[in-house]
């Protein structure tokens, strides 16, 4: 008979897997239960189109994981279990309708020259940002990586004030509260440069005019230049497979096709879980739920704390995303420049105004008339993902409503995603064809994943929300997922919350899982 685990983890997303790895390394016996047929959540890969063509289901960029505190501590061990990265020096670019383009590479002089083609003043601004980045990054990353409690924030405020002075600390606070457009308008003059950086805000629910979003375009631009980007060798699931192997090697378990229907608790103490087949499993020390906040309320039946339960039920999700996976006979022939074939990501987001319109339409339940496209070209970086001479394209259609109310363009009349998927995907491919004529003729296989299908595969992606909750200021920092609970604790003793819904939020950095494990078992 198996011994009772110290910790039960619900969900095998990368945050709970990182948490389980960390706890197992500290001597805890861990058991992970996942409702899907395979672990990984949004970080998995498969042959979704044709045999031999490997696609990343949702997440593609593993730079945050490679640079995370978790990887710093356990990277060597994970590498022994197969974790491998493939770097690129050409992380992202944007292409525009006037056949201009701007790419950011890990060559600052080249980037400066590219920016100078749009504006000499912007080239000087880019140089200033580049020179200041090491010092600024130290302050910003300290904020984004600290434990979300008053003591940590007080120390951070004091250390920032000592390092930067009052004016510098206030400038940092203002920047962290600024919208992408506000910062971009203050820093650059060229609409092309602004749009190139502003597109990154759309990855994290920060349309151009949403407060608090400036930091993400800034960090992606400067970090992309400083460090490039890394993808997973053979697929993003290299990190998932390695973490599962590490857990199992240390005596833990990861069980798939195991749907948790309730979190058991009595006298305000979490005791274990119940599976769909009726099996009850007890935990000695902790139950850790990597779930969307709404699911936390359903699984517990309520914590007994009205304020907390209300916050979980009213947690706000971002608009959804559609994924289009393509098996290709060749890469797109970008009309603006064939050099664009060198980049891992190509954004089709021609202006800040277009991004703002797309966001507003999706929030209103409309199929956007011109969605933002993130065109991933992973086989440029990792040819092993396709047969020799062939390629895969990874296309995020951002944004898309989880529930369709209407079509902003007035062309798609159906409201069910099963019927709207093909015409909306065709709208996206029409946009791609405009920028890269002949792309359609190179498609060998296609797989569309709607917002509804993303949620069905992973219930944390409510309405196809790939970041498990808006990162707007009212739901970020110490407010993620609710004030007083950003450290993963809940009102029920022994029950903890992790995942993208918990500070520091979305991305592949495993921040919430790693911070929680350190809280439970020490650093």
Summarize pLDDT for 387-446 with one digit per residue, the tens: 999 999 999 999 999 999 999 999 999 999 999 999 999 999 999 999 999 999 999 999
The answer to which of 72-81, 131-140, 145-154, 452-461 has the lowest mean pLDDT is 145-154
Residues 93 and 120: their CA atoms lie apart, in Å, by 19
What is the rounded average pLDDT of the residues 283-298? 98
**pLDDT confidence bin for 1, thresholds 50/70/90:** very low
pLDDT higher than threshold 70 for residue 447: yes
pLDDT higher than threshold 80 for residue 122: yes
**pLDDT confidence bin for 154, thresholds 50/70/90:** low
What is the rounded average pLDDT of the residues 489-508? 97
Q: What is the pLDDT of residue 167?
A: 80
What is the rounded average pLDDT of the residues 373-398? 98
What is the rounded average pLDDT of the residues 307-329? 97
Q: Which pair of tokens denotes residue 182?
A: 């506000």
- Does domain 7-45+61-84+235-315+469-521 fall under CATH 3.50.50.60? My reply is yes
In which element (H, E) is residue 140 found?
helix 120-145
Residues 502 and 491: their CA atoms lie apart, in Å, by 15
Q: What is the pLDDT of residue 274?
A: 98
Q: Half-sphere exposure of 108 toward its Cβ, with a 13 Å CA cutoff?
A: 13
The answer to which of 130-139, 286-295, 315-324, 430-439 has the lowest mean pLDDT is 130-139
pLDDT in tens, 187-202: 999 999 999 999 999 9
What is the rounded average pLDDT of the residues 348-356? 98
Tell me what the pLDDT averaged over the chain comes to: 95
What is the rounded average pLDDT of the residues 52-70? 97
Give the start-to-end residue ranges of the domains of the chain.
7-45+61-84+235-315+469-521, 106-227
**Within a 10 A sphere around the Cβ of 259, how many other Cβ atoms?**
13
Q: Which pair of tokens denotes residue 129?
A: 């940002």
The whole-model pTM stands at 0.95
**pLDDT confidence bin for 135, thresholds 50/70/90:** confident
pLDDT higher than threshold 70 for residue 153: no
Phi–psi pair at 45, nearest 5 degrees: -140, 155
Q: What is the pLDDT of residue 2?
A: 59
What is the rounded average pLDDT of the residues 47-53? 98
What is the rounded average pLDDT of the residues 69-97? 98
In which element (H, E) is residue 427 found?
helix 417-435
Question: Interhelix angle for 108-116 vs 120-145, to 10°?
Answer: 130
pLDDT higher than threshold 90 for residue 346: yes
């Amino acid at each position: 008979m198996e011994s009772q685990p110290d910790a039960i983890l619900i969900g095998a997303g990368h945050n709970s897997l990182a948490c389980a790895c960390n706890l197992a390394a500290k001597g805890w016996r861990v058991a992970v239960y996942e409702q899907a047929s395979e672990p990984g959540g949004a970080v998995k890969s498969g042959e979704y189109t044709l045999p031999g063509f490997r696609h990343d289901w949702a997440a593609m960029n593993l730079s945050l994981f490679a640079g995370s505190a978790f990887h710093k501590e356990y990277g060597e061990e994970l590498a022994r279990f197969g974790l491998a990265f493939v770097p690129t020096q050409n992380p992202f670019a944007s292409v525009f309708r006037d056949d201009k383009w701007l790419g950011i590479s890990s060559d600052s002089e080249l980037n400066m020259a590219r920016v100078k083609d749009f504006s000499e003043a912007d080239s000087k601004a880019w140089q200033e940002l580049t020179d200041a980045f090491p010092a600024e990054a130290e302050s910003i990353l300290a904020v984004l990586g600290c434990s979300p409690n008053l003591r940590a924030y007080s120390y951070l405020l004091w250390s920032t004030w000592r390092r930067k002075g009052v004016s510098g600390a206030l400038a940092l606070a203002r920047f962290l509260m600024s919208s992408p457009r506000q910062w971009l308008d203050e820093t650059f003059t060229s609409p092309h440069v602004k749009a190139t950086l502003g597109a990154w805000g759309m990855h994290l629910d920060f349309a151009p005019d949403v407060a608090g979003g400036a930091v993400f375009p800034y960090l992606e631009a400067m970090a992309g230049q400083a460090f490039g980007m890394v993808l997973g060798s053979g697929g993003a699931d290299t990190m998932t497979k390695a973490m599962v192997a590490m857990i199992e090697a240390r005596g833990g378990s990861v069980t798939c096709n195991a749907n948790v229907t309730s979190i058991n608790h009595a006298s305000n103490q979490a005791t274990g879980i119940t599976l769909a087949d009726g099996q009850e499993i007890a935990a000695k020390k902790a139950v850790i739920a990597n779930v969307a906040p709404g699911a936390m309320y359903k699984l517990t039946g309520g914590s007994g704390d009205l304020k907390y339960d209300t916050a979980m039920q009213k947690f706000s999700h971002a608009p959804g995303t559609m994924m289009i996976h393509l098996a290709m006979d060749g890469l797109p022939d970008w009309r603006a420049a064939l050099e664009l074939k060198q980049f891992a990501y190509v954004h089709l987001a021609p202006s800040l105004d277009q991004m703002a319109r797309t966001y507003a339409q999706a929030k209103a339940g409309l199929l956007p008339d011109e969605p933002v496209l993130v065109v991933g070209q992973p086989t440029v970086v990792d040819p092993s993902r396709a047969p020799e001479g062939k390629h895969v394209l990874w296309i995020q259609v951002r944004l898309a409503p989880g529930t369709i109310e209407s079509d902003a363009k007035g062309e798609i009349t159906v409201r069910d995603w099963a019927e709207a998927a093909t015409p909306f995907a065709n709208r996206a491919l029409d946009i791609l064809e405009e920028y890269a004529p002949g792309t359609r003729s190179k498609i060998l296989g296609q797989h569309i994943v709607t917002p509804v299908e993303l949620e069905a595969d992973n219930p944390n992606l409510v309405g196809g929300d790939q970041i498990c909750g808006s990162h707007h200021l009212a739901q970020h920092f110490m407010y993620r997922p609710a004030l007083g609970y950003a450290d993963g604790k809940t009102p029920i003793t022994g029950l903890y919350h992790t995942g993208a819904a918990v500070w520091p939020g979305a991305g592949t950095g495993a921040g919430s899982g790693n911070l929680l494990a350190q809280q439970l078992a020490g650093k």
